[in-house]
Amino acid sequence: MKIGNQKVVSLTYELHKDNQQGELIQKVEADRPFVYLFGVGGLLPKFEQNLEGLSVGDSFAFGLTPAEAYGEYTEDAILDLDIEIFKEDGKVEDGLLEIGNTITMMDNHGHPIDGVVIEVGSSMVKMDFNHPLAGQGLHFSGVILDIREATDEEISHGHVHGPHGHHHH
């Protein structure tokens, strides 16, 4: 069986900055593999393109440019926000507005977006909404462990169920 749409894929990988010799960002091992439903749009498109057609036991190694990954770092994603929006009952929760804290906010479309506090003033908070890996070239390498047909329920929900997958509570 080959990787394609409506297949559930299990794999291991190492993610390095820029190239195979770059700084290790993330490592996913066989005892806790990455399991996902192929072709539903939840992953970087170039990541899926590089895996399509592979079989169990195949290894892979490929790089992504910043544009193919999480985009270029942009100054437009650094915003000054009114400190009032961080207040509950008239005050800011202790420890919330610490430099380096990641806070999940809502964008203009009501989608969650993570921002990092980079400066706190008396009336404004400067936050960086760039993805943590923006501006980075990424290099993935790993092995395909398993491929199976997705169930009708997984296809209708758009994600994997069961071991290592999504669980409904």
Summarize pLDDT for 48-98 with one digit per residue, the tens.
999 999 999 999 999 999 999 999 999 999 999 999 999 999 899 999 999
Out of 38-42, 79-83, 140-144, 152-156, pick the least confident.
Answer: 38-42
Backbone angles phi, psi at 96, to 5 degrees: -70, -50
Query: Mean pLDDT over all residues of the chain?
Result: 92
pLDDT at 168 over 50: no
Once rounded to an integer, what is the mean pLDDT over residues 4-28?
95
Q: How confident is the model at residue 167 (pLDDT cuts 50, 70, 90)?
A: very low
Q: Which helix (H) or strand (E) holds 147?
A: strand 138-149
Instruction: Answer yes or no: are the C-beta atoms of 23 and 139 closer than 8 Å.
Output: no
List C-alpha distances in Å: 16 to 31, 41, 132: 20, 22, 14
Question: Which pTM value belongs to this model?
Answer: 0.79
DSSP 138: E
**Residue 166 predicted with pLDDT over 90:** no
Percentage of the residues of the chain whose pLDDT score is greater than 90 = 83
What 8-state DSSP symbol labels residue 55? Answer: B
Domains, the chain, in order of start with CATH, read 7-69+134-157 (3.10.50.40), 75-128 (2.40.10.330)
Give pLDDT, residue 150.
94
